[in-house]
Homo-oligomer: A and B are copies of this chain.
Amino acid sequence: MRFLMVGDIVGAPGRRAVRENVPALRSGMKIDFVIANGENAAGGNGITREVAKELLSCGVDVLTMGNHVWNHKEALNYIAGEERMVRPLNYPPGAPGAGVRIFELETVKIAVVNCSGRIFMASLDCPFRAMDQVLNALEGKAGIILVDFHAEATSEKVAMGWHLAGRVAAVCGTHTHVQTADERVLPGGTAYITDVGMTGPRDSVIGVKRELVLEKFISQLPRRFEVAVGLYQFNAVLIDIDAETGEAVEIRRIQNYE
C-alpha cells in the first residue's frame, strides 16, 4: 500500500500546492492514502473548518496538527468532532479531539497518530511514554500505524524514530518546515524522516515574508508575520508499506515546485 505524507501546509500558497499536486499524485503514483500536516493551513497559523474542508476535499484523507493546533478558536470545537483530524496525542487528558484515529481501507486498518516533542516546545506529556501507551491501546486494532512526530530538536525526533523502530510503519517528523535528507527504513520496517518539510511559499522564511522575519530578528521589535506570496513548493514523502506485515518497504522524498 502506498501512502503520501505532506509536510506542513502554509497558507494559501500551501493549499494551492495541495490542490495542484495531491490529486495528480494520487492517480499518477497510485497512492492509497494521504496524510497532511495542516497546523499552518489557515493564514499560516492553525486551522479552520473551512480550510480543513477544502483540504479534505481535494485528496487529503486525514489532517495532522502541531503546536499551532488551537490558534483559531473554532478549532477547539471543530477538531473534537472531525474524525479526519488528529491533534497531538500528548496533550493533557481532557483536550478536545483525538491523538489517534483509525481508518479503514478495504480490509486494512490504518492508525494515524500525531505526537508533539517537548524540547524547545510547550510542556506536553512525555511523547515517548505517550507513544508506548497508544501502541498498547492499538494492539490488535490497526495493521498499519503511521506517526507524525511534530518536534523541533533533531535529537528528540531521531530518538523517537529509534524508540518506535519495528513497532510502527512510519515516523515522519514535521514542524521545522525544512525537508531533511535522512529518509530511510529503520530496522524492523519503520520508514523514518526527521522532517517532511513545508508545502507553502518557496521564497520565504519557513512560510513567512522574509523581510518581516529579518526585520524582527535584527530589530527585536514586534512584526506581524504574514504568509509570503509567490510560487509554492510542495514537500512530501511517499511510503510503501506491506499491508500484510505492517512494515515499510521504502520511503522516498518528493519536492515539487510551481
With both chains docked as a complex, state the minimum distance between the C-beta of A50 and any C-beta of chain B, in angstroms.
Answer: 20
Chain B residues lying within 8 Å of A31, measured Cβ to Cβ, are: none
Whether A118 is near chain B, meaning CB under 8 Å from some CB there, is yes
A176 in the interface, Cβ–Cβ < 8 Å?
yes
A184 CB to nearest chain B CB (Å): 9
A118 and B123: CB pair below 8 A?
yes
Known: A122-B220, A125-B126, A221-B95. Contact between A180 and B179, CB under 8 A?
yes
Q: Chain A's interface: helix, strand, loop or mixed, by majority? A: loop
* Nearest chain B residue, comparing its CB with the CB of A187: B203
* Contact residues in B for A138 (Cβ distance below 8 Å): none
Q: Which residues of B contact A95 (CB under 8 A)?
A: 219-221
Determine if A219 and B94 form an interchain contact, defined as CB atoms under 8 angstroms apart. yes
Q: Assess whether A163 is interfacial by the CB under 8 Å rule.
A: yes
A122 to B, closest residue via Cβ: B220
Q: Are A205 and B123 in contact (CB under 8 A)?
A: no
Answer whether residue A218 sits at the interface, using C-beta atoms and an 8 A cutoff: yes
- Interface size in chain A (residues, C-beta < 8 A): 50
Which of B92, B120, B197, B219 is A220 in contact with, Cβ under 8 Å?
Answer: B92
- A91 at interface (Cβ–Cβ under 8 A)? yes
Q: Is A58 an interface residue (CB 8 A)?
A: no
Within 8 A of B (CB), among A118-141: 118-120, 122-126, 128-129
Q: Give complex CA distance A179, B181 in Å.
A: 5
Complex formed: what's the CA distance from A219 to B181 in Å?
Answer: 30
Interface contact A218-B158, CB-CB below 8 Å: no
Stretch at the interface among A14-22, A36-44, A209-217, A241-249: A209-217
* Contacting pair B197 A182 (CB below 8 A): yes
Kindly list chain B residues whose C-beta atoms are within 8 Å of the C-beta of A92.
Answer: 126, 129, 218-220
The 19 listed contacts between A and B (C-beta, < 8 Å) are A91-B220, A92-B219, A95-B220, A122-B220, A123-B123, A125-B125, A128-B218, A155-B208, A158-B178, A159-B210, A162-B214, A178-B180, A178-B182, A179-B180, A180-B181, A180-B195, A181-B181, A181-B255, A182-B197
Binding site for B on A (CB under 8 A): 70-71, 76, 91-92, 94-95, 118-120, 122-126, 128-129, 152-156, 158-159, 162-163, 176-182, 194-195, 197, 205-206, 208, 210, 213-214, 217-222, 253, 255
